[in-house]
Chains A and B, each alone.
Chain A
Amino acid sequence: MEQFLAIFATIVTASTPLLIAALGELVVERSGVLNLGVEGMMVMGAVAGFGVAFATGNPYLGVVASIIAGMLMSLLFGLLTLTLLSNQVATGLAITLLGLGLSALIGESLVGQPIARIPNFHGIDILIVASFALAGLTSWVLFKTRLGLVIRAVGDNHHSAHAMGFKVIAVRYLCVAFGGACAGLAGGYLSLAYTPQWVENMTAGRGWIALALVVFATWLPGRVIIGAYLFGAISILAYTVQTFAWGIPSQWLSSLPYLVTVAALVVISGNRQLMRANTPTCLGQSFVPDR
């Protein structure tokens, strides 16, 4: 039983950063913006959160800092793509590269420093609880409130939304900032709770997995939870199976989470109706008001 609980807690901590980052990106994409900079925003959140926690000794202030750092990176993305109308894909990639480089520079003196981590109870910490609340909140706002309706309208047809008098650019800025805050928080989770230390490139590709999970979930928050936990669970169970020494090649086990995610993506994408109903039609398109 204890063994089961320990593995369960490990699965939860492995899934949480993916869940938080993917929820943020989901809202961004629902508003019609494709921000490929998740990895960069995440790693900036990780370094900022760690730095502030190290300087103040308070991990919760670190959490706040990681949210702000992610948000600042996303606002830079917003400025470039929404106001200056640069290409979203290229800009997102640039944000990732910028984040990885800048965080390494900022964090140089933080390497090898220990900090007080976010406290947990049997491996479950407050941010894990918050991630579920965030999923519920995202789902509720998107599908049960007027704000959510506006966000989806902007993402599905920005010209019509504009004609109806909605401020397309302002709504997108709001969503992009929310996405940045989530990515920053996910990064902060890595450096403050998951492995409380700072090392360069510590996100190790999790931002990209979060991006894939949004498509996997067909832009539905509930499915993001399933996707994130499926990925986390398979990763951890693959390690557990290795300790049983059954002789299954470890390379195969390590690639299993990716294989399962790809397989699920293929199955989901095969359902045309579901895809058409949920894919934001204006995803990745710049908006230029015609009058």
Chain B
Amino acid sequence: MKKLMLSAAVVAMALGAASASANAADKFKACWIYLGAIGDFGWTYQHNEGVKQVQAELGDKVETVFVENVAEADSATAIERLARDGCKIIFTTSFGYMEPTLEVAAKYPDVKFEHATGYKTADNVTTYNAKFHQGRYVQGQIAAKMSKTGVAGYIGSFPIPEVVAGINAFMLGAQSVNPDFKVKIVWANTWFDPGKEGDAAKVLFSQGADIIVQHTDSAAPITVAEEQKKLGFGQASDQIKFGPHAQMTATMDNWGPYYVRRVKAAMDGTWKSQQSWDGMAEGTVKMAPITNVPDDVKAMAEKTIADITSGALDPFGGKVTKQDGTVVDKVDDGMILGMNWYVKGIDDKLPQ
């Protein structure tokens, strides 16, 4: 009898699951894979804000699902599980997901894949990225104006093109104000470890930097800047709460409009594989309010932002001199997306 009841319960559960999935089948399932936790208040947090916007704008027609804390090394399993679970479009939001995404995409040709910050596409794999280096250029100008020691400390995550392009754009911005501006670079070799990022900031301040720039995901560096009465920039989201007297601005990733557009396209069948690269003009890259600087610096930064948005200024426009002295007449998009060299003025070797 007990056994019978048990099996009845199993059948009931199966039925329940079936009806639930029948309901879900009416909805378009859009899925995301996150590297960190949505509570990182940085990179992953901003992606999740975008997902919230998708849910808000497309409402009942779409079901959004996300998996957080997915290590790059074993992301293939997580991506494949989503593909099997009926996701129609899957966004993978870290550079290291590139190969796993392509691998799974080859097995599921009917599912659309979107890989953030990568450079390899397929028929059902789009890459998307944002021109974060536009924000770095603005930061460089502000840093060069505000620094007393003429040295900024830069915390990098990994020496991948996106980060290298950010460092170069930062220096080009700084050099447009102070040609002798210097940068000291520390690679944390992690995207997210508040302790290590904070340590790197402390070390850089002790080595003469008085402005901190970061390309890692937590708010630890700006917290250190606040404590040591130094200055810095927020990363990925507005981190003014962590550095009310330290944050001068922050480059914010605003993925919402892009996600809404792409999910809609996938729903009505107009989705095509592409390489999307939006910036300030499309609203994907936004700057937090400029604070803790004199009015003239603020005016300069705001003009630069307006010029980049309108297209009058391109951080990599014009001639760019590489570290080894060779001059590049025109840095095209492909060069930025695959950037593996420093600009002149950076006294450091790029780890290869």
Q: Which residues of A come within 8 Å of B, CB atoms?
A: 3, 6-7, 9-10, 14, 104, 107-108, 111-114, 117, 190, 194-197, 199-202, 204, 206, 235-236, 239-240, 242-243, 245, 247, 249-251, 254
Contact = CB atoms under 8 A, between A and B. Distances in A.
B332 interface: no
Given A199-B40, A242-B186, A254-B189, A6 B351 contact: no
B166 to A, nearest CB: 16
Contacts of B218: 195, 197, 199
A10 B199 contact: yes
Nearest to B208: A3
State the main secondary structure of chain A at its contact with B.
Answer: helix
Interface string B222-246: 0110010000000000000110000
A6 B202 contact: yes
A41 to B, nearest CB: 17
B196 interface: yes
Contacts of A243: 153, 184-186, 203-204, 207
B21 interface: no
B349 interface: yes
Contacts of A239: 186, 199-200, 203-204
A3 B206 contact: yes
Interface of B: 36-37, 39-41, 45, 69, 153, 159, 184-190, 192-200, 202-207, 218-220, 223-224, 227, 241-242, 347-349, 351-352
21 contacts: A3-B207, A6-B202, A14-B195, A107-B39, A111-B40, A112-B241, A114-B242, A195-B197, A196-B223, A197-B242, A200-B37, A200-B39, A200-B40, A200-B69, A201-B69, A201-B192, A204-B195, A242-B186, A245-B185, A245-B347, A247-B349
B39 A250 contact: no
Contacts of B193: 204
Contacts of A3: 206-207
A236 B199 contact: yes
Given A111-B45, A204-B190, 10 more contacts: A10-B199, A111-B39, A194-B198, A195-B198, A196-B223, A197-B220, A199-B218, A202-B194, A239-B203, A254-B188
A110 B72 CA distance: 27
B195 A236 contact: no
B88 to A, nearest CB: 28
Contacts of A242: 185-187
A250 B189 contact: yes
Contacts of A251: 187, 189, 351
Nearest to A2: B206
Contacts of A206: 195
Nearest to B352: A249
Contacts of B186: 239, 242-243, 250
Q: Which 5 A-B pairs have the closest CB atoms?
A: A200-B37, A250-B187, A6-B206, A247-B349, A254-B189
B347 A7 contact: no
Contacts of A196: 223
Contact of A245 (B36, B45, B200, B349): B349
Contacts of A254: 187-189
Contacts of A200: 36-37, 39-40, 69
Q: Which of A3, A195, A200 has the most CB of B within 10 A?
A: A195
A7 B206 contact: yes
A222 B347 CA distance: 42
Nearest to B241: A114
A201 B351 contact: no
A69 B174 CA distance: 47
B303 to A, nearest CB: 31
A204 B188 CA distance: 13
Contacts of B190: 204
Nearest to A107: B39
Contacts of A112: 41, 219, 241-242
A8 to B, nearest CB: 10
Nearest to B238: A112
Contacts of A236: 199, 203
A199 B207 contact: no
A245 B184 contact: yes
Contact of B37 (A10, A114, A201, A245): A201
Q: Which of B187, B195, B207, B349 has the most CB of A within 10 A?
A: B195
Contacts of A240: 203, 206-207
Nearest to A17: B195
Contacts of B204: 239, 243
A117 B224 CA distance: 12
A6 B206 CA distance: 6
A111 B217 CA distance: 13
B75 to A, nearest CB: 17
Q: Which of A14, A114, A200 has the most CB of B within 10 A?
A: A200
